[in-house]
Structure 1
């Protein structure tokens, strides 16, 4: 008798649709994934992370350096640019869409970037268990899906509980950087993180300044062209007791 299907307890912030990759993207997975893409043990889904899996950061990057983690790296424009500009730091891109992962690997290889790794997985699971506690210097969440329809807002990444999950992965004093072009989501982000006792604001006033380490992408330009305000927020991880 087949075992019953098992589902995640919490809704994920993405809907993973299958799509064909170009020949170049297919080649990227064959030729470049050995260096860039982490081999993650799975649990109940192809984007899950087994609860016992742990990343040995120093062994993977072959050094001790600050680790910057981007959630939802998309095509990789922001993180490849940052990794190229900051060779003294290490970077980890979390993404579930294979075409985006392939594009990221292609661009990273073209730019000669070697301080970047990618993980094809659900971000909260990476933060909650796969990364060692206090291993990240920064966590970036730039333009995550706003799920603007009311019936879908439960899928938003930044919701109750996310702060504690991100705080686990961040070192004391580490920064959580967020940006969105969706006003309602920006307000929710601020409300959720203002209420999180493990974080404090690292900005003054209503909104933070634009993070100058974030490369301007086509996605951000599109939001500006449509007249949407880009909202930046930065929170600092409070010291552990």
Structure 2
């Protein structure tokens, strides 16, 4: 059975700066298809730090900003768009951020095959593709099976934080997450957390009068979903 992709494979030109970042930095700060086999804070950073997984980091500026403001935790950005991976690496180097790694891999495969159960401090899913057409809803990242997988990889007390500027997808997210084993930290949607940086994409949406919805759900102790 062929897995249904939750993302558009995209191509983009690489600048000289981005090619240099990939050549020099990806071998040092990247997670390849085979190495390391086990992905956790200790293997990525050489010390047992809480690990935050961001699924779909885009061009990476917001991810670098969050990692820089949170040096006691390690960040792993899963992003399949090569220019985004390159830009994240370049910006992280420019800012001197060392608690950040990048995985140019399918995030769901990474979760299934490489990340141990009960090991993640948080998972961030900010502005995933809404796949607005009804026939494409099966491609949405927020699906019961995917949420169950994420929940199984969160440590007790770990948080799943999602954000979208697509109202219909926000309702879908709220319904799907509320039906999962995770617990809503708020009554419905969450207020916008100060620690989530503004992105260019988000600001463009606000200029176009699109509302932004945050959802924050937590895993409670003793709650283990599919492994």
TM over 0.5: yes
> Any residues of structure 2 matched to 1:32-51 within 5 Å, and which?
32-41=25-34
Q: Deviations over 1:126-160 (max 9, x none)?
A: 12221111111010000001011222221110012
TM-score of the two chains, using structure 2 as the length reference: 0.93
Give aligned pairs, total: 223
The match for 1:163 among 132, 147, 150 is 147
Q: Please tell me whether residue 212 in structure 1 is matched to residue 194 in structure 2.
A: yes
What stretches of structure 1 move > 4 A for 4+ residues in a row? none
Unpaired stretches in structure 2, ≥5 consecutive residues: none
Q: Please tell me whether residue 221 in structure 1 is matched to residue 221 in structure 2.
A: no
Q: Please give the root-mean-square deviation of Cα atoms over the aligned residues, in Å.
A: 1.6
User: Given that residues 128 and 166 in structure 1 are in contact (C-alpha distance below 8 angstroms), is that contact kept between their aligned partners in structure 2?
Assistant: no
Provide the residue aligned with 1:27 in structure 2: 20
Q: Please tell me whether residue 237 in structure 1 is matched to residue 219 in structure 2.
A: yes
> Any residues of structure 2 matched to 1:14-93 within 5 Å, and which?
14-41=7-34, 53-93=37-77
User: Given that residues 127 and 168 in structure 1 are in contact (C-alpha distance below 8 angstroms), is that contact kept between their aligned partners in structure 2?
Assistant: no
Q: CA deviation at 1:56?
A: 4.7
User: Given that residues 80 and 108 in structure 1 are in contact (C-alpha distance below 8 angstroms), is that contact kept between their aligned partners in structure 2?
Assistant: yes
Q: Please tell me whether residue 192 in structure 1 is matched to residue 185 in structure 2.
A: no
Unpaired stretches in structure 1, ≥5 consecutive residues: 1-6, 43-51
The match for 1:112 among 78, 96, 115 is 96
TM-score of the two chains, using structure 1 as the length reference: 0.88
User: Given that residues 166 and 210 in structure 2 are in contact (C-alpha distance below 8 angstroms), is that contact kept between their aligned partners in structure 1?
Assistant: yes
Q: Secondary structure at the match of 1:214?
A: coil
Q: CA deviation at 1:124?
A: 1.3
User: Given that residues 128 and 168 in structure 1 are in contact (C-alpha distance below 8 angstroms), is that contact kept between their aligned partners in structure 2?
Assistant: no
Larger radius of gyration: 1
Cα distance in 1, alignment partners of residues 40 and 78 from structure 2: 16
Cα distance in 1, alignment partners of residues 41 and 214 from structure 2: 28
